[in-house]
Amino acid sequence: MFHLVRRFFGYVLARPLSPSEQQQVQSALSPQLCELFFSQAPQDQRHAIQVLERVSSNDPALAEAALLHDIGKRGLRIGAVERSLATVAGATSMPMPERWRRYLDHGAAGGDLLESAGAGNLAIAFARFHPGPVPEGIDDEVWALLTAADDA
C-alpha cells in the first residue's frame, strides 16, 4: 500500500526526462520500441527510467522490460487521482468507468502491443503479467528483480 502512496506523489511530481536520460532510452531500445516508449505520458516515462536505474543491469532484455512494462497505459489520459480511484475501485469490486477498467487491465494491452512491435519475451511477459507470479519460461530471479524495482 505504501508504494502506491509513493507512486501517487511520484506521478504528481514527475519531471520530464533529461536529454541524457532520453539518450539512455534511445540506446537501450530499437527505434520502433523507442517510439512506443516516448508515446507514454511523461510521468510513466519517468517511472520507467527509475525502474531501469533500480534494476542496474547491462542486460538488454532487462532494460527493455524495465522501460516498457507499463506501455499499456499509454493514451489512457488518466491522471494521478483517477489512477488512485481506479486502483481502489478495482480492489473493492466497485463499479467503475470503462477507462478505469482499461487502466487496470493495462498489462494485457501492453503485452499485446509489445508482441506486435517485436519486443523480447521478457518485456512482453513483464508487461502482461506483472506484478503477478512468474510466468512459465521466465527466470525467477529476473522476475523478482524487475518486480522489486517496479515496487520500490
Q: What is the pLDDT of residues 74-116, one digit of tens each?
A: 988 888 888 888 888 888 988 899 999 998 999 999 999 999 9
Spatial distance between the Cα atoms of 41 and 116, rounded to a whole number of angstroms: 21
Contacts of 32 (CB under 8 A, 6+ apart): 117, 118
Res 1 pLDDT > 70 = no
User: pTM above 0.95?
Assistant: no
What local confidence, expressed as pLDDT, does residue 85 receive? 86
Burial class (CB in 10 A: 0-12, 13-18, 19+), 106: buried
Contacts of 52 (CB under 8 A, 6+ apart): 24, 28, 63, 66, 67, 149
